Amino acid sequence: MDPGVIGVFIPIIAIIMGVGAGIVAIWSEHKRKAQLLEQNHRERMQAIEKGLELPPLPPNLVSTSNGPSTASAAKSVRSGVMLLLIGIILWFAIDRAGGSDAALFGLIPAAVGVANLLYAAIQWNKDKAEEAKKQP
């Protein structure tokens, strides 16, 4: 096969695989939530038939998020470190490939990562102060 043809197929296949991975992720999340709803429905119907008290609904059964709705310091630390490292790696990679002027764009995710780390520190101090107020 001609190298030019291979060079054309690589981005096409990459786009198709990327879109396909997104579709599979959305579909599997939908199936997971549908199965969870079905199991919860069956459990509640059996409780009604037996005359038992209905079990409480799980808090994230029909919500759009996968975790708690409140921001936590741990989430901010994780995303902050990840973005900081991605920004540093991008800076070195773009500097090596395209020059130092273009490499400055790699510092954008690094700056967002630093901001997340600062937010995590503030959130951690705030949580610590609230716990200290609760304890006598």
Q: What is the mean pLDDT of residues 106-120?
A: 92
Q: What is the pLDDT of residue 131?
A: 85
Q: Indicate if the pLDDT at residue 69 is higher than 50.
A: no
Q: What integer best gives the mean pLDDT of the chain?
A: 86
| 124 or 64, higher pLDDT | 124
Q: What is the pLDDT of residue 15?
A: 94
Q: Indicate if the pLDDT at residue 108 is higher than 80.
A: yes
Q: What is the mean pLDDT of residues 64-71?
A: 55
pLDDT tens for each residue of 9-39: 999 999 999 999 999 999 999 999 899 889 9
Q: What is the pLDDT of residue 23?
A: 97
Cβ–Cβ under 8 Å, residues 60 and 66 = yes
Extract the tokens encoding 59.
């808090």
Q: Indicate if the pLDDT at residue 83 is higher than 50.
A: yes
Percent of the chain with pLDDT over 90: 42
Strands (E), 32-93: none
Q: What is the pLDDT of residue 62?
A: 66
Task: Kindly report whether the global pTM for this prediction surpasses the value 0.75.
Answer: no
What's the rounded Cα separation, in Å, for the pair 130 and 124? 10
Cβ–Cβ under 8 Å, residues 86 and 120 = no
The per-residue DSSP string of 13-33 comes to HHHHHHHHHHHHHHHHHHHHH
